[in-house]
Amino acid sequence: MVADAPSPGPRLGFLYPGHSAEDEYPRLGTLVDARPVVELVHTSVGEDAHRVDALLDLGGPERLAEGASHLAGRVDAVLWACTSGSFVFGLDGARRQAAAVGEALDVPSSSTSLAFVAALRALGATRPAVAATYPPDVVSAFASFLAEAGTDVVATGAEDILTATEVGTFGRERVRSFVLAGDHPDADVVLVPDTALHTVEWIDELEATLGKPVLTANQVTMWEALRLVGAPHGGQAGLGALFAL
C-alpha cells in the first residue's frame, strides 16, 4: 500500500531585491518542520547601494507592487525580505509599506525590519548590539528604527560595504569576524541585519561562541512568515535561539 503524500505546508511569499543570498529561503524551507512552499520573487533594483536615497527607491511602492503582482493567488503570507529597504522609512513607514503589499494580495504581510522587532520581543531581549554590513549612516538609521520600536541599541558595528552584491560573497570567516567584533558585553542579543548576507549555516556556531542569541536577517524573515500563518516555528534545532523558542 502506497503511503499518502505529505500535505504541502503553508505557501510563503518573499519579495527579495536583486540576487545575493536568496538561496537561504529554500534552504530554510527544508529545515523547518512546517516545510513551507517557498515562493520567491526578485524585485527590481535601481542602484545596488547601501545609501539612503538608493534604499528609499529600492523599497518604493512601485517596485514592491510590481513584485507582489507575481504572487497574486499563490501565497498565504508575504514578506518584504529586505532590512535596509524597510527601516529607512522609519517604523510607521515600514508598517505602511508592508501593509500595502499585504492589502494588494489580501494576505498577512510584514518585512525583515518588522520581523527583527517581533523577534526581539519574542526573545525578551532589550539590549541589542548591531553587527552590520552597512555604512555607518545606514546603521544609525537602523538603530533609530529600533529606538522608535522601543528598543535601545547598546553598540553598533559597521563594515561599510556599499553593495549587496559584495555582501553576498562573504563566507564563514568574514561573517564570523565582523559578527563577533560587533558584540558588546552589555548586549543580550546580536542583530545581523542584511538579507544579502549568508548566515543560516553558522547561526548556532555564532551563538555558541558569543554565549547569547544571534538574529540574522533571513532567519528572522522566515520566522516572521511562519508566525504570520500560525505554522509551527518553535523547538527547531540548528537555527538559533529564536527557532528554539
Residue type, 145: F
Confidence of residue 6 (pLDDT cuts 50, 70, 90): low
Torsion angle in degrees (nearest 10) through CA of 58, 60, 66, 68 = 90
pLDDT in tens, 172-220: 999 999 999 999 999 999 999 999 999 999 999 999 999 999 999 999 9
pLDDT in tens, 144-165: 999 999 999 999 999 999 999 9
Comparing CA positions, the residue from 232, 146, 231 lying closest to residue 189 is 146
What pLDDT sits at residue 39? 98
What pLDDT sits at residue 62? 98
Domains delineated in the chain: 11-244 (3.40.50.12500)
| 57: its cell numbers | 527607491
| Bridge partner list, 189 | 128
CA distances from 242 to 70, 83, 124, 207, 235 (A): 30, 18, 11, 11, 9
| Bridge partner list, 130 | 156, 191
Residue type, 196: A
pLDDT in tens, 78-127: 999 999 999 999 999 999 999 999 999 999 999 999 999 999 999 999 99
What pLDDT sits at residue 139? 98
pLDDT in tens, 31-52: 999 999 999 999 999 999 999 9
Q: Is a pLDDT exceeding 90 seen at residue 235?
A: no
CB 124 within 8 Å of CB 91 = no
Confidence of residue 18 (pLDDT cuts 50, 70, 90): very high
Comparing CA positions, the residue from 220, 181, 213 lying closest to residue 197 is 220
What pLDDT sits at residue 150? 97
Question: What phi and psi values does residue 95 have, to the nearest 5 degrees?
Answer: -65, -45
Q: How far apart are the first and last CA of the chain?
A: 38
| 160: its cell numbers | 561599510
Instruction: Kindly report the pTM of this predicted structure.
Output: 0.96
Q: Is a pLDDT exceeding 50 seen at residue 3?
A: no
